[in-house]
Amino acid sequence: MSHHPTIAVVGSGPIGSAYARLLLEGIPDARVVMFEAGPQLTGRPGESVRNIADPVEKARARELSQGPQAGEFRASLGIPSATVVEGMFTARQGTHLLDFGGEGSAHAPTFPAAAGATNVGGQGAHWTCAIPRPAFSEKVAFIADDEWEELIETAEGLLHAQSAAFADSAVGGGIRSLLEEEFAGELPDGYGPSTLPVAGDPQPDGTMRWAGADVVLGPLIEPGNPLAERFELRDLTLVRRVEHDGDVVTGVTVEDLRTHETSFVPADLVVVAADAFRSPQLLWASGIRPRALGHYLTEHPVVISTVALDAEKISRFATEEQLDEELARRATTAADPVAAVNRIPFSEPDHPFSLQVMYSETTPFPMEPGAPYSDNRWGYVNMGYGMRKFPRFEDAVTFDDAEPDYRGFPNMTITYELTEAELAEIQAATERLRRAGNALGVFVAEPRLMPNGSSLHYQGTLRMGDADDGTSVADPWSRVWGYENLVVGGNALIPTATAMNPTLMSVAIAVRGARKAVERLGAGAEASAVA
């Protein structure tokens, strides 16, 4: 190991950013090179596009998030417009479907909404910034509670967690009160209706500056900061292989997507933190193929609906004057229509689901003028229940060496099925959603189960475990079993059945992995210096 270790980080989302920062803070002589296949969307690397006030600029940033194949940007790289590639069909704004139906498309007939984001900051440039804490069986059993608590607190600091957002909304408070009445006595203490913890920084004018990977990178992207001098971010650079000599990783082979030149970058440690599909795909393409790689795929089945708030019900807790004040305040931040977010968190045994209730003055879909509740003065709530998917080996992304995808990697096939266990919880959660909606007002969009993959919370394909028994890819500190200096990160490591937004949990796991890597690399650098 060199006296000045080089660390290659694959992926620029919140997890890769956490590794970059903690490794540089922990190893004084280390250098981190971060590789991102997509472009930088904003002047500040990794910033949330929700902070872009200009709607045209925001739309442009989201288009670029579809990768170097998107729109005019795609043409500027010399890619023929007739080429059918990922990005031509977009899922949620800023993301692109994996199974887009063209040549080189992934195969995901049972997981049709699977999507990714290809840009600096990853999904962290587009996420809702929800960071609830995992609880009960969602937590990782082989991490002690006291350590887990400290890891979560550190992750909250990296993400700029706060609870001030939406707390001043009188209508949001009224929504909580109505939900508390409906579910009184059914939920454990501390797990009833509450505001949703989010990542961001409240501004003096009352707006929010939403967090992206930029807040995690922190000093690494501040000009003049000593840490920034040891950090390099290469966008539009695709990592083709993780190179290794036996069980020792030697570096990465990368392709510059501007010039299409390939080169080898030596590294003392490689951190693969792309996403739950492309990270295992890269390992497979590199000949790193643990039995569990790509298997145990989970997400959160999601049931959603929209409800028009009932004036008589909500006015028991909020006045017309307070509503007018909220409408006036939100008129100054029209780019972000969500005015308050409440939740009922996961708890066991009686509420193994996670409910989010987003208050807005508009619906997420156009309503016919003159239709009932089409101009509801008190606004609407868009509600969704997230449920568990229990890990099974059969639910997986697998790879075919004989069929290249549009980037030349072994193509993906996603196999996934909801079993009786999930269907029972989906039915129970749908009944709860109807109760919640009826307590608040009138449904203008009936509860419906979204297609598989809609949550964007993909987990398990790089799952961590406490034994190298073929059921996990990584050890308790995120190091790939059997490899000395290869670490993986992201939601894909989560080995449990969860119902909540996974980013906070994944950053906490990354904190643990980064600390262990600092121990190993730091000790190796010291030994090298002495020699």
> Which amino acids are annotated catalytic?
457
Q: How far apart are CA 187 and CA 351, in angstroms?
A: 7
Local structure of 467: helix, strand or coil: coil
> Long-range pairs for 142-150 at CB < 8 Å and ≥24 separation?
142/466, 142/476, 143/476, 143/512, 147/512, 148/508
Strands 194-195 and 338-344: what pairing? antiparallel
Q: Where are the alpha helices (DSSP H) in 253-387?
A: 278-285, 311-314, 320-331
Local structure of 410: helix, strand or coil: strand
> From the CB of residue 250, how many other CB atoms can be counted at a distance below 10 Å?
16
Q: Where are the alpha helices (DSSP H) in 420-475?
A: 420-440
Q: Considering only CA atoms, which of 7, 1, 3 is closest in space to residue 513? A: 7
Contact 86, 66 (CB under 8 A): yes
Local structure of 23: helix, strand or coil: helix
**Rg of the chain on CA atoms, in Å:** 23
Tokens read off for 271: 């951190």
Q: What is the 3-state secondary structure (H, E, C) of 286-352?
A: CCCCCCCCCECCECCCEEEEEEEECHHHHCCCCCHHHHHHHHHHHHCCCCCCEEEEEEECCECCCEC
Contact 34, 234 (CB under 8 A): yes
Q: How far apart are CA 67 and CA 86, in angstroms?
A: 8
Contact 35, 232 (CB under 8 A): no
Q: How far apart are CA 376 and CA 99, in angstroms?
A: 38
Contact 234, 255 (CB under 8 A): no
Contact 21, 216 (CB under 8 A): yes
Structure letter (DSSP) for residue 479: B
**Cα–chain center distance at 371:** 36
Contact 347, 500 (CB under 8 A): no
